């Protein structure tokens, strides 16, 4: 499950007129989103562990065994991605606690509520992220 689909049950944050950026209410909103996503990911990981333990079957047919190994490899790859996402969520929660959440790591400007709604683990504003991606594409060529 990707982080951009898990937190859609939360309504978008609508700041009140004159509300300061990353106010306590905004921080609480994003803390709740991040905690919810982390909880769902942890539940998925737990479910996968139990499923893999329960379905540990040895097939005599090489095709069945290969299919099972392929399924397990795919599941483990997905769980590894989720483990990395949990690490990013923990880092984002740490930034909320330290008062750094919502500000670009590269230039220091506000990331923006809409971008954070779409990707709560974002650490860069859209301009800096776009430049980084352009540099990555140039290096890859």
128 labeled binding residue: yes
What is the C-alpha separation between 59 and 66, in angstroms, rounded? 9
Place of tokens 């683990």: 121
125 labeled binding residue: yes
What is the C-alpha separation between 87 and 79, in angstroms, rounded? 12
104 labeled binding residue: yes
Helices (H), 61-140: 62-98, 113-118, 126-140
33 labeled binding residue: no
What is the C-alpha separation between 123 and 101, in angstroms, rounded? 8
What is the C-alpha separation between 49 and 35, in angstroms, rounded? 21
Are the beta carbons of 115 and 124 closer than 8 angstroms? no
Binding site, by residue number, is 104, 107, 125, 128
Binding site for Zn(2+), by residue number, is 104, 107, 125, 128
């Amino acid at each position: 499950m990707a982080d951009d689909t898990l937190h859609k049950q939360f309504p978008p944050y609508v700041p009140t007129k004159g509300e300061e950026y990353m106010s306590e209410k905004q921080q609480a909103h994003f803390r709740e989103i991040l905690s919810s996503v982390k909880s769902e990911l942890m539940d998925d990981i737990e479910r996968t562990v139990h499923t893999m333990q329960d379905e540990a079957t040895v097939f005599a047919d090489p095709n069945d065994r290969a299919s099972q190994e392929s399924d397990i490899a795919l599941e483990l790859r997905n769980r590894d991605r989720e483990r990395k996402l949990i690490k990013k969520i923990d880092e984002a929660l740490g930034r909320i606690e330290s008062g750094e959440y919502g500000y670009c790591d590269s230039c220091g400007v506000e990331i923006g509520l809409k971008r954070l709604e779409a990707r709560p683990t974002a650490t860069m504003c859209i301009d800096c992220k776009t430049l980084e991606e352009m540099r990555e594409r140039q290096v890859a060529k």
